[in-house]
Amino acid sequence: MEIKGIIVSGMGKGTYFMSQAIYRDEFEKKLNFKPFVGTLNVGVDSNGIRTINQIPQEKFSIINGQGKFGDVKFVKANLNNKIEGALVFPMKTKHPNDVLEFIAEKNLRNTLKLEDGDFVTIKVEGLE
């Protein structure tokens, strides 16, 4: 299952949430890597939204939040056939549904030299 999108700036919230032990520790356990403190925001069109909505619920894993920190669903994915990571879907979010958040072990803007406006492809693991 392939999703095409464009890099967009986020609201800066990904860094805060990805720095919280409740999320970092669980992502590390469940994804087998320590995620970079931040998310890569990818804008998608209606086809991308439709594709995301077609992912079977059993493909998602969940991290249970605590207190003011809400639950986060995620699905393993690959960015540009180069970087293993995951698409994350916070249950408490202010992002519109046409912006996806991708996490990985490295700062993807630096590693892949990505800038706002660059096109990327995301493949959801196990749904090729």
Contacts of 32 (CB under 8 A, 6+ apart): none
User: Per the annotation, does 50 bind a ligand?
Assistant: no
User: Per the annotation, does 109 bind a ligand?
Assistant: yes
User: Per the annotation, does 101 bind a ligand?
Assistant: yes
User: Per the annotation, does 39 bind a ligand?
Assistant: yes
User: Per the annotation, does 5 bind a ligand?
Assistant: no
User: Per the annotation, does 14 bind a ligand?
Assistant: yes
User: Per the annotation, does 51 bind a ligand?
Assistant: no
In sequence order, what are the beta bridge partners of 6?
43, 119
User: Per the annotation, does 112 bind a ligand?
Assistant: no
Record the tokens describing residue 40, joined without a space: 């890569």
DSSP code for 89 = E
What distance in Å separates the CA atoms of residue 74 and residue 99, rounded to the nearest whole number?
14
Q: Cβ–Cβ contacts within 10 Å for residue 100, how many?
A: 24
Which residues are documented as binding site for FMN? 93, 101
Binding residues: 10-15, 39, 41, 93, 101, 106-109
Which residues are part of a known binding site for Mg(2+)?
Answer: 39, 41
Numbered residues of the known binding site for CDP? 10-15, 106-109
